Amino acid sequence: MSGSTVSGRLVVVGLGPGPAAQLTGEAAAALAAASDLFGYGPYLARLTLRADQTAHASDNREELARAKAALALAAAGRQVAVVSGGDPGVFAMAAAVCEALEAGPEAWRRLDVAVLPGVTAMLAVAARCGAPLGHDFCAISLSDNLKPWPTVERRLGVAAEAGFALALYNPVSRARPWQLGRAFEVLRAVLPPETTVIFGRAAGREDERIAVVSLDEARPGMADMATCVIVGSPATRTVARGALPPLVYTPRSAEPAT
C-alpha cells in the first residue's frame, strides 16, 4: 500500500489497549510523523501532541464522517493519522476508512494509505488471565447498530456450540442496555453453567478490573463500555494459585496435558 501519486498520506494507527508500553515502535513513529490526528476524543486524549500537530476529536458514533474528513485532508496533502484503541482492524477505524475511500472521489484511491496493527483488547485481557483464547476462538461485536440482532444471536449460538471460545466486543453502552444479558441467555442454552466468563476492563491500565466468574454467575452489570468479555469453551480450565489470581486457559487440545 505504498507508492503514492499525491503527497498526502493517511495512516490508521492502533494505540493498543492503553498503556504506552503496549504501543508498537512503528505506531509511535507514525504518531510523531503526523500533522493531523483524527479519533474518538478519549483516544486522542491519551496522546501528548506537539504544538505543530492538530487534533481532530469526534464522537464514537461518527466513524464514517471521521474517516471522510481524514481522507479529504490527506488528499489535500497533509500527513494524517487516524487513531484507534487496540487494533484498527478489529471493530475499529480501518474498515470505516476503507468504506469511505470506496464511496469517495476517485482521487482517494491514489492516496498512500497504510494500517499499522496493534494489540487488540481481547489479546490484552487474555494475557492478564493466562490463555483463555489458547485454542480456536471467535470475536463478535454485540453492537446491533450496523447488523441485525438476530444475526448476533445466531453467531453466538453456533460458535459456542462448535466449541469456540468467544471474545465479545462492544458488550454494552447507553444505546445498548439489554444485548449482553440476552447474549448470556443464548450462551446458557448451549454451554455448561460452569463455563468460565472473564470481564476484562481497561486491561493493563491503572483502572484495570478483571473478574473471572462462571456463566451462571455472569451479569450484564459486570461490564461497561471499556470491557471486553471473554467466554471460554467447555474445555477452558481454571488453575487456582492460592493468594495469586487464578490462571485461566483453553488447552491446545481437547485432552488435559499429561
Residues 141-170 that bind a copy of itself (CB under 8 A): 141, 145-148, 151, 154-155, 158-159, 161-164
Q: How far is CA 3 from CA 6, 77, 99, 109, in A?
A: 9, 15, 21, 12
Number of residues that bind a copy of itself (CB under 8 A): 91
Task: Name which of 54 and 209 has its Cβ closer to a copy of itself.
Answer: 209
Task: Name which of 123 and 202 has its Cβ closer to a copy of itself.
Answer: 123
Task: Name which of 20 and 49 has its Cβ closer to a copy of itself.
Answer: 20
Among 126, 172, 222, 231, interactor with a copy of itself by CB under 8 A: 126
25 binds a copy of itself (CB under 8 A): yes
Task: Name which of 21 and 51 has its Cβ closer to a copy of itself.
Answer: 21
Task: Name which of 79 and 89 has its Cβ closer to a copy of itself.
Answer: 89
9 binds a copy of itself (CB under 8 A): no
31 binds a copy of itself (CB under 8 A): no
231 binds a copy of itself (CB under 8 A): no
- Answer whether 131's CB lies under 8 Å from 249's CB: yes
Please list, in sequence order, all residues whose beta carbon lies within 8 angstroms of the beta carbon of residue 176, skipping any fewer than 6 positions away. 142, 143, 144, 170
- Answer whether 215's CB lies under 8 Å from 191's CB: yes
Q: Which three cell numbers stand for residue 121?
A: 483488547
Residues pairing with 113 in the sheet: 10
Smallest distance, a copy of itself to C-beta of residue 191, A:
15
11 binds a copy of itself (CB under 8 A): no
Smallest distance, a copy of itself to C-beta of residue 154, A:
6
Q: Which three cell numbers stand for residue 75?
A: 488528499
91 binds a copy of itself (CB under 8 A): yes
Write down the residue that cell numbers 438476530 correspond to: 150
Task: Name which of 151 and 221 has its Cβ closer to a copy of itself.
Answer: 151
Smallest distance, a copy of itself to C-beta of residue 221, A:
24
Tell which positions 58-77 bind a copy of itself, by CB under 8 A: 63-64
Task: Name which of 52 and 255 has its Cβ closer to a copy of itself.
Answer: 255
243 binds a copy of itself (CB under 8 A): yes
Report the distance separating Cα 146 and Cα 4, nearest Å.
32
Report the distance separating Cα 209 and Cα 222, nearest Å.
10
3-state secondary structure of 36: strand
207 binds a copy of itself (CB under 8 A): no
Report the distance separating Cα 11 and Cα 67, nearest Å.
11
Please list, in sequence order, all residues whose beta carbon lies within 8 angstroms of the beta carbon of residue 160, skipping any fewer than 6 positions away. 166, 186, 187, 190, 191, 231, 233
For residue 226, give the nearest of 90, 118, 125, 117 by alpha carbon. 125
Report the distance separating Cα 20 and Cα 12, nearest Å.
17
